[in-house]
Amino acid sequence: MIRALVNNWGLVLMLGILAILFGIVTLVFPGITLVALIVLLGAYAVTQGIVAIFLSIQEHDDYSNWWVMLLAGLVSVAAGIAMFVWPGITSKILLYVIAVWAIALGILELVLAIDLRREIEGEWALLLSGVLSVVFGILVIVYPVAGALSILWMIGLFAILFGALLLVLAHRLHNLRNDIKQEIRNLHMHAS
């Protein structure tokens, strides 16, 4: 799995940037209609899910827990599709869909972070991202009637923090990729 993440660090970077942009749009334009918010969040969920599914398939043979990434991808795609199929659902039901998605994704990120702790330095970003997702989901379930504006602020701040953690992870993966390339060059030089 680490090989797939290292080789596709740009996808992790893209997801981080998209999450931050989504968070900024949510905070800067709080008057955005609920339907527009659902479409943006649904698009992000589907994109994130497709990337996770792609990575899990790519590492199916080499990574024993490939199913964790596949499950995370399927959960994200399902949540995104639910948001597209039922954009007119009540805001309370939408919040529960978002909360369940965040909790499920967070738990899967925690499992992945624990699994990768021996292979990658800086797995704390993935671990913290998982904790943040679970806490966010629980807060949404516990305080579903906190008011539309406060929910938008929570979603926006969560997206920005989540995106920032993905950027940190992408940076670590990129550095690891460069380290691996340098080691390969050194091996070729010593072998010659």
104 Cβ neighbours under 8 A, 6+ residues apart = 72, 75
129-152 pLDDT tens trace: 888 889 888 988 887 766 556 777
Q: Domains along the chain?
A: 2-191 (1.25.40)
**Taking the C-alpha atoms of 54, 56, 62 and 67 in order, what is their torsion angle to the nearest 10 degrees?**
-160
Q: Is the pLDDT of residue 157 over 80?
A: yes
Mapped onto helix, strand or coil, the DSSP state of residue 147 is coil
Tell me which of 159 and 87 has the higher pLDDT.
Answer: 159
18-70 pLDDT tens trace: 889 988 988 888 767 566 777 777 888 888 889 889 888 887 777 777 788 88
In this prediction, residues 178-192 reach a mean pLDDT of: 77
Residue 138 DSSP symbol? H
Q: Are 163 and 30 in contact (CB under 8 A)?
A: no
In this prediction, residues 172-178 reach a mean pLDDT of: 84
Question: Cα–Cα distance between 88 and 34 in angstroms, integer?
Answer: 9
In this prediction, residues 6-25 reach a mean pLDDT of: 85
Q: Can you give the pLDDT at residue 90?
A: 59
Q: pTM of this prediction? A: 0.59
Query: Which amino acid, 89?
Result: I
Q: What six digits make up the tokens of 52?
A: 């996770």
In this prediction, residues 140-169 reach a mean pLDDT of: 79
